[in-house]
Amino acid sequence: MVKNKKCHIKKIAALAGAVVLAVSSAVLYAAPPVKAANGPCDTGDWAYAYINVRTGEDSTTIFSSKGTNSIDGMSYDRKTNTLTLNNYKNKTAGIATNMMGDDFKINLIGDNEIGGIGSYGDAWGGSINICGNGSLVINADRAGDYGVAFFAEGTNSVLSVADTCNVTIYSGSKAIVHTIDNLTDKPIRDNGTLKENVTYNVSHPLQISSLYARYYEYDPYTTNTVYKNEADNTSLYYIKELTYVESGRVTYTIYKLTTKNALGDVYYADKIGEYDNIPAGYTKTTLDNPISYYESDGGSGGTSQVVINTATSEKYVSAYAYENGESFYKICKLLEKLGVDEQSNDEIWLVDYSNPVATYNPVWGNDNPPEGYKYDGTEVESLYNVECIADKLTFTAKSAGDSTTDNPSEKPSEKPTEKPTEKPTEKPTEKPTEKPTEKPTEKPTEKPGDEKPSAPDQDSNNTIVDVSDGSTTIKVDEIRKIIEDNKTNDVIIKSNNDVTFTFAKGTMSEVSQVAIYDFSTAITSDIKEAGNIPAAVTDDIFVSKIVYNYSGALPAKASIKLNVGKAYAGQTLYYSQLLDDGTIISMMSAVVDNDGYMTVEQDHCSTYLITKQKLTNNKLETPKTADNSNIALWLTLLIVLCSSATLYTFAVKAKKINR
């Protein structure tokens, strides 16, 4: 795989209608409003078609919704959807296309040579039809993983070569033609001129099974005050009373105390509901000896992928871990089913998180579990991953006298009629999703297997991701590329509200089960608009409230630069975490610089306060029915982010500079 040494990524990813499942590798592609067998998708909300050419560190966008461009020996005609190569010879050049439609043509005039072609279908169309009466050689130096690659993304994307031209494609290190998530298992269309026999290694993407893994890293709560219900005299109940300081509101959460073999003498408090008053029929009773319990809505964990021991066929979960400043994964034993998660409908299982049977760090480009384990799941038979194996492909023209023009009008012989279907992302191979929407002066393209196009920028040794003027979400496959850059560069993410996240070189790693990383913030500097604020935070000490839309563990500890205003320059301000129930956890202090910026460090995100005075740690929950000595500890536990299916349409820009 060719890696950029110096590149600037500017992307607008518009998988509009794509449902990102945090618990599965399945992605459902929703087609744009008009099914496009013909023509690029360059109008409307899905206008992300482009043609991009990269030669080394130089790049050019030949076509996008912003217009057309040309280079010596290469030009594009929108009317016929044709890219013409006219004696273009550069064996290092890669051509990348996105959403160009199934009638996209490469017209050959004279003798031509390039390094590779990569096509993204993106639920629109990504076929490549080579025509004309010239010749083309692809990947002659065998530098790429593949000669031609189709990231079909739920389309019927194929390579077709007309019988009027001569085309030779050489195999790369992995295959000669590669495709994933395609509606066809035959991505090469032979029009009677192919000389070699091709072996098709066909597989299906895997929709990985998942469950909600739960574990408790703290001692259970204790109480000797329980309740009985007149409709169920055999069961015990626990009622937790919460008093909110700001509003004075009181709520009552009722739990049914149940037994679980895996918990031994400790009860599992299964939440029934939350009420403004204790419902009728409950009678308080005091036990002679206190009991211990864990709450069903407490603990740690999240949606995790299921793996199987290949020797025993026993099922486990792969759970994310962050300990001693290091991120890794644990293979954990399933102890007992606890119930079903209401949001994701996944089974909730108690897992042995403290005693993993194995640990591992995924290898970049290969997300498989460690040796001896495999993912549990179901193959999606309607989609195909295909490796086309041959030393080379030789398409020889039937006649040399056929005429051609710079802008041929022929159409492909077949038009796909199948609609895009559910596409699970295959485990080891991730497809890039960057989709530029405007034409930069320089724009790299790719050989198959590379990332989507990028263009060089200057004057920094950092990788800069700028999402300040659009959607602030970054998809998981994009964050993986950023993590790869982080091996050699600091990563700086510029978000809205003039907030900047900086991750030091070599620190970032993927957060388990996070499909979308949202780096946006909501900042309030008026205490009257800040919602429920603990009584200890008064107007005279309040500076601002910061709500990070990303909740949970970050890819690494981040240095976060916050603009509090020049009025605070030189002053020491205090940074505290504010939990949902009003609990305050003092984090750190920092001196505001001359430009009005305060810099803090953290490896998790939620809601925070900036104040002029240090806040004292507090707890808002006031137990009235039991001696819950562990409540404060419970309130300070960090919660692992988990997501259910969420609809995202997003626009992301990223800049990679001077690598």
Find the helix or strand (DSSP H, E) in which 388 lies: strand 384-389
Helix, strand, coil % over all residues of the chain, rounded to 5: 5, 45, 50
Residue 89 or 344, more confident: 89
Copy the structure tokens of residue 186. Answer: 């035959």
Give CA–CA dist 72/89, Å, rounded.
10
Residue ranges per structural domain of the chain: 19-206+382-424, 219-295, 299-375, 463-636
Q: How does pLDDT run across 56-91, given as a tens digit for each residue?
A: 878 899 999 889 999 999 999 999 999 999 999 999
Does the pLDDT at position 208 exceed 50? yes
Q: How does pLDDT run across 359-371, given as a tens digit for each residue?
A: 998 765 456 889 9
Q: Which residues contact 106 (CB under 8 A, 6 or more apart)?
A: 82, 83, 84, 85, 95, 128, 129, 130, 131, 132, 136
The pLDDT score that the predictor gives to residue 456 is 27
Q: Which pLDDT band, with edges at 50, 70 and 90, does 16 fall under?
A: very low
Label residue 547 exposed, middle or buried (CB < 10 Å: 0-12, 13-18, 19+). Answer: middle
Give CA–CA dist 543/214, Å, rounded.
37
Residue type (1 letter), 129? N
Residue 499 or 468, more confident: 499
The pLDDT score that the predictor gives to residue 366 is 59
Average pLDDT over residues 191-197: 92
Residue 288 or 529, more confident: 288
Q: How does pLDDT run across 574-618, given as a tens digit for each residue?
A: 999 998 778 888 888 999 998 899 999 998 888 999 999 998 776
Query: Residue 95, Cβ neighbours under 10 Å: how many?
Result: 26
Does the pLDDT at position 34 exceed 60? no
* CATH fold group of domain 463-636: Chondroitinase Ac; Chain A, domain 3 (2.60.220)
Number of residues in the chain: 659
Label residue 342 exposed, middle or buried (CB < 10 Å: 0-12, 13-18, 19+). Answer: exposed
Percent of the chain with pLDDT over 90: 51
Does the pLDDT at position 420 exceed 90? no
Q: Which pLDDT band, with edges at 50, 70 and 90, does 624 fall under?
A: very low
Residue type (1 letter), 250? V
Check: CB of residue 156 under 8 Å from CB of residue 190. no
Q: Which residues contact 313 (CB under 8 A, 6 or more apart)?
A: none
Give CA–CA dist 647/295, Å, rounded.
31
Average pLDDT over residues 428-443: 38
Average pLDDT over residues 432-443: 38
DSSP symbol at 121:
-
Copy the structure tokens of residue 608. Answer: 């925070």
Query: Residue 398, Cβ neighbours under 10 Å: how many?
Result: 11
Which residue, chain included where needed, has tokens 């500076």?
543
The pLDDT score that the predictor gives to residue 156 is 93
The pLDDT score that the predictor gives to residue 349 is 96
Average pLDDT over residues 173-181: 94
Q: Which pLDDT band, with edges at 50, 70 and 90, does 634 fall under?
A: very low
Does the pLDDT at position 486 exceed 60? yes
pTM over 0.85: no
The pLDDT score that the predictor gives to residue 298 is 86
